[in-house]
Amino acid sequence: MKFVETSLPGVMVVEPTVFGDARGFFFEVHHAEKYAAAGIDRAFVQSNHSRSSKGTLRGLHIQVEHAQGKLVRVIRGTIWDVAVDVRKGSSHFGRSVAVELSEENQKLLWVPEGFAHGFVVTSESADVLYSCTDLYHPEHERVLAWNDPELGIPWPVKDPMLSARDTKGSPLSSFR
C-alpha cells in the first residue's frame, strides 16, 4: 500500500497493492496499522454507497460540527473527486485538489476533517463507497458552492446534474 501526499497537506491518495491472477484480484482497502503509520489514525464509524449517472455532481459538502474525514473509493465507473480546504486560519484555505478515482486505477482518496468534498461522475455511471470518521448529522452540514469563481475548480463538465441543496451552495467567503 502506497500513500501519496497531494498539494494539500493531509489529503492523500492511497494506492493499494493489487494482487491479481486469472481468478480476479484482491487488495486491502483499509489496514489500521498501515493507515496510522501514514498519519491517518482514525476509526471509521459509517460507510456509504452512492450510485450516480454521468454528469452528476455531488457536493461540495462538509459538516461544521461532527466533522467527517472521508475515505473515498470507486467500485464501478469513474469520478473526478475534489477536496477543498475550508479550515479557518489554514494557509491553504480555499485551495483544492482533484484526483480521478476509478474501478480501473483502484485508488482511494483520504479527505480529512476540515475539507469540503465533492465529485462529478465522468463515466456513464459510478458506484462510490466512502467511509466516514463521524456519523452524518444533516443539521450540521453545509454546502460550498461547486462553481464559486473564487475556488476556480476546473470541473470536467459544463452543466452538471445537481440536487436541490447543491444548487444552493454558499460562497467560499461565508466559510471564513
Residues 6+ apart with CB under 8 A from 101: 72, 73, 74, 78, 79, 81, 107, 108, 109, 119, 128
Which backbone phi and psi does 33 adopt, to 5 degrees?
-70, -40
Catalytic residue among 31, 49, 61, 92: 61
| C-alpha span between 55 and 21 (Å, rounded) | 34
**Residue-range definition of the domain harbouring residue 163:** 2-17+42-171
User: What CATH number did the domain enclosing 112 receive?
Assistant: 2.60.120.10
- Is residue 33 in a domain? no
How far from 72 is each of 21, 80, 90, CA to CA, in Å? Answer: 25, 11, 23
> Per residue in 77-119, pLDDT tens?
999 999 999 999 999 999 999 999 999 999 999 999 999 999 9
**Confidence band of 31 (pLDDT split at 50, 70, 90):** very high
Partner residues linked to 131 by β-bridges:
47, 71
| C-alpha span between 131 and 172 (Å, rounded) | 25
> Per residue in 117-151, pLDDT tens?
999 999 999 999 999 999 999 999 999 999 999 99
- Is residue 121 in a domain? yes
Tell me if residue 130 is catalytic: yes
Domain tally for the chain? 1
Residue 34 confidence (pLDDT): 97
Q: For 61, how many CA atoms within 13 A lie in the half-sphere containing its CB? A: 24
| C-alpha span between 23 and 9 (Å, rounded) | 38
- Is residue 138 in a domain? yes
Tell me if residue 137 is catalytic: no
Residue 151 confidence (pLDDT): 97
Alpha helices in 13-160 (DSSP H): 32-37
Residue 136 confidence (pLDDT): 97
| C-alpha span between 89 and 109 (Å, rounded) | 24
Residue 152 confidence (pLDDT): 96
Find out whether 144 and 62 touch, Cβ atoms under 8 Å. Answer: yes
Catalytic residue among 31, 35, 130, 140: 130
- Is residue 153 in a domain? yes
- Is residue 29 in a domain? no
- Is residue 95 in a domain? yes
